Chain A
């Protein structure tokens, strides 16, 4: 889509707060899993419809400024709504506790996250490669004007894609809520890691984002375990190395 949106960290944060709000009101995590992505997706769709679509012509800088402005607004909104303190929620019933395999211990919730991740990845890959909407988006990545000339309302596609992206980030926030601290600046770390993942994987490629997330996730985890002081540095060194050897990222299209 060639749109730069730095507010995805905020969408993730909003998802986590939505999870906290729903769980503390109703005690039902599964309801949060439904309502969180829906409401965050709605917010994303409205942002595109009312503001972002006016900026596509003006290039990336305007998009960066607008979306960065939104990250500040969302942090302040969350702070004024929930206060500056840190919250946490428990995993849903049935997914608490841990089990052991071959001497290593896993929480049940780890497995749940793994399952959700694989499911989301599969849905994205199938939609991207096999469905019409994926074809429209892949076409739009290289030539938006031509897509319009074929009678396709790209404006609508953009709004829905933007909303879907926001909903996915919101889903990430809901799923993360039981094992991370929920606080007003929680968006920063995720945003930076997500940016690294996307750049490393290659802009405009779902496969690239998948490969990038696996690579960065493993590098970050192993880095934290063996060289804790350098775990962030390792992530950035990895990105720098890929960019030097292959400037368009692992799966990015040639510019």
Chain B
């Protein structure tokens, strides 16, 4: 995407943002609270209108399309707070967006707990189970690019580690590209090849994850860690 400007109402939350995720690449979107990470992801997925700029998926223009059309281009967002459907069972949550012969069994193999709790309503899951369900639900749409918004939020460190390992596995086995917005620097750096840092809605740093991981001064300056 190039020169993306977007926001809510009269307010531009992100301004003139350029982002690129190559096929098979994992990219982290870093930045403090309110830097515009969630807005960026929601805009790419078509849930927020674009003011200006362009977005392309595999070279096909996606800017201005409704979210369901963008999803069908092979892009799936795992939103902040997971947004599991409470009135649907685990299995219904999974099959809702299933496409092109996606099989619940494959996801259940990845997350055995989702098979055990197939008939449980979404509202009765723990935070970790909800996150697994959210990832599984996104995978059922057979995406090629996965957008993950704060997957570590509110989860125990052990579950966060599991998610990190899982993302690595998905990249290897499914050739998925990943764009992950994270406050948890350890998770982001474990997962990503490259990083972008957002500050007040603008990209202020771009580089490899390895270099950013070693540069404590850079981390302090942009993230305050």
A residues near B (Cβ < 8 Å) are 132, 135-136, 138-139, 141-143, 145-155, 253
Contacts and interface: CB of A to CB of B under 8 A. Distances in A.
Contacts of B72: 151
Contacts of A142: 85-87
Contact of A148 (B66, B85, B93): B66
Nearest to B83: A146
Contact of B85 (A132, A143, A154): A143
A150 B87 contact: no
Contact of B87 (A138, A145, A147, A151): A138
B57 interface: no
A143 B83 contact: yes
Given A132-B95, A135-B92, A149 B67 contact: yes
B141 interface: yes
B15 interface: no
Contacts of B141: 150-151
Interface residues of B, number: 24
Closest 9 CB pairs of A and B: A150-B97, A151-B71, A148-B67, A139-B85, A138-B87, A135-B92, A146-B83, A148-B68, A153-B68
B88 A135 contact: yes
Interface-central residue, B66, B67, B86, B88, by most chain A CB under 10 Å: B67
A145 B47 contact: yes
B95 A151 contact: no
A145 B77 CA distance: 11
B151 interface: no
A30 to B, nearest CB: 37
Contacts of B76: 149-151
Nearest to A204: B87
B137 interface: yes
B40 to A, nearest CB: 15
Given A151-B97, A151-B99, A145 B67 contact: yes
B107 to A, nearest CB: 14
B96 interface: yes
Contacts of A145: 47, 67
Contact of A147 (B77, B86, B96, B99): B96
Interface in B62-112: 66-68, 71-72, 76-77, 79, 83, 85-88, 92-93, 95-97, 99
Contacts of A141: 87
A141 B88 CA distance: 11
A253 B87 contact: yes
B179 interface: no
Contact of A151 (B47, B68, B88, B92): B68
Contacts of B85: 138-139, 142-143, 146
A145 B96 CA distance: 14
A87 to B, nearest CB: 43
Given A139-B92, A146-B79, A150-B97, 9 more contacts: A132-B95, A142-B86, A147-B96, A148-B47, A148-B68, A148-B71, A149-B68, A151-B71, A155-B66
Contacts of B47: 145, 148-149
Contacts of B96: 132, 135-136, 139, 147, 150, 152
B145 interface: no
Nearest to A155: B66
B87 A149 contact: no
B79 A152 contact: no
A136 B96 CA distance: 7
